[in-house]
Amino acid sequence: MARKVADVMWEMLANAGVKRCYGIVGDALNPVIDALRRNGKIEFIHVRHEEYGVFAAVAEAYLTGNPVAVCGTAGPGVTHLFNGLMDARKEGAAIIAIAGDVETRLMDTAALEELNPYKFFDTACLYVGRVVNPEQTRAVFTTAIMTAIVDKGPTVISMPGDIASANAPDDASHEVTIPAPPVFRPADADIDKLAALIEAAKKVAIFGGDGCRDARDEVLQLAARLKAPVGYSFRGKQWLEHDNPNAVGMTGLLGYGGAYKAIHDSDLLLLLGTDFPFSEFLPGHDVKKVQIDRNPKHIGRRTAIDLGLVGDIKATVTALLGKVSDKSESRFLEKHVAETNSFHELLQHYVEKGPGIKPIRPEFLAATLSELAADDALFFADTGTACIWLARHIKGGANRRLFGSFSWASMANAAPNAFGAQLAFPGRQTIALCGDGGFTMLALGDLLTQVQRKTPVVQIILNNESLDFVNIEMQEAGVVPFGVAFKNPNFAKVAEAMGAKGIRIEEPGEVREGLAVALAHQGGPVVVDVVVDPYALSLPSHLPFHAVKGFTLSLAKQVLSGKMDSVIKTIERNTGLV
- The answer to whether residues 454 and 483 touch, using CB atoms and an 8 Å cutoff, is no
Superfamily classification of domain 5-164: Thiamin diphosphate (ThDP)-binding fold, Pyr/PP domains (3.40.50.970)
Q: Residue 160: beta bridge partners?
A: 101
Helix axes of 545-560 and 468-476: crossing angle, nearest 10 degrees: 100
Amino acid letter, residue 51: E
What's the whole-number mean pLDDT along residues 357-362? 96
Q: How far is CA 47 from the centre of its chain?
A: 21
Q: What are phi and psi of 47, to 5 degrees?
A: -115, 165
Q: What is the mean pLDDT of the chain?
A: 93
* pLDDT, tens only, 427-449: 999 999 999 999 999 999 999 99
* pLDDT, tens only, 142-176: 999 999 999 999 999 999 999 999 999 988 777 88
Q: Return the biggest CA–CA distance within the chain.
A: 78
Query: Is residue 267 pLDDT above 70, yes or no?
Result: yes
**Three-class secondary structure of residue 132 per DSSP:** coil
Q: Let me know if domain 188-336 sits in CATH 3.40.50.1220.
A: yes
Q: pTM for the complete prediction?
A: 0.94
CB crowding 122-152: b at 16 or more within 10 Å, else e: eebbbbbbbbbebebbbebbbbbbbbbbeeb
What's the whole-number mean pLDDT along residues 76-87? 98
Q: Let me know if domain 348-577 sits in CATH 2.60.40.10.
A: no
Given CA atoms 373, 376, 377, 380 in this order, what sign does their dihedral have? positive
CATH 3.40.50.970 range(s) for the chain read 5-164, 348-577
pLDDT at 555: 45
* pLDDT, tens only, 478-526: 888 899 999 999 999 999 999 999 999 999 999 999 999 999 999 999 9
SS3 content of the chain, % helix, strand, coil (to 5): 45, 15, 35
How many whole angstroms separate alpha carbon 80 and alpha carbon 87? 13
**Least confident span in 214-218, 249-253, 321-325, 365-369:** 249-253
Taking the CA atoms of residue 173, residue 14, residue 88 and residue 78 in that order, the dihedral angle to the nearest 10 degrees is 70
How many whole angstroms separate alpha carbon 568 and alpha carbon 287? 41
Say if residue 218 is exposed, middle or buried (CB neighbours under 10 Å; 0-12, 13-18, 19+): buried
| CA distances for 228 relative to 218, 245, 284, 311, 329, angstroms | 13, 10, 19, 21, 10
How many whole angstroms separate alpha carbon 35 and alpha carbon 9? 9
CB crowding 4-13: b at 16 or more within 10 Å, else e: bbbbbbbbbb
Which residues lie closer than 8 Å to 440 by C-beta, 6 or more apart? 488
Say if residue 348 is exposed, middle or buried (CB neighbours under 10 Å; 0-12, 13-18, 19+): middle
Q: Residue 187: beta bridge partners?
A: none
Q: Which of 491, 559, 551 is nearest to 526 (CA)?
A: 491
Angle in degrees, CA 380, 44, 454, rounded to 5: 55
Per-residue confidence band for 578, with pLDDT thresholds at 50, 70 and 90: very low
- The answer to whether residues 292 and 313 touch, using CB atoms and an 8 Å cutoff, is yes
Which residues lie closer than 8 Å to 532 by C-beta, 6 or more apart? 359, 360, 361, 362, 365, 462, 463, 464
Question: First CA to last CA across the chain, in angstroms?
Answer: 74
- The answer to whether residues 154 and 125 touch, using CB atoms and an 8 Å cutoff, is yes
CATH 3.40.50.1220 range(s) for the chain read 188-336
Cis before 245 (ω within 30): no
Query: Is residue 381 pLDDT above 60, yes or no?
Result: yes
Amino acid letter, residue 329: E
* pLDDT, tens only, 386-398: 999 999 999 999 9
Taking the CA atoms of residue 400, residue 281, residue 405 and residue 314 in that order, the dihedral angle to the nearest 10 degrees is -50
pLDDT at 374: 98
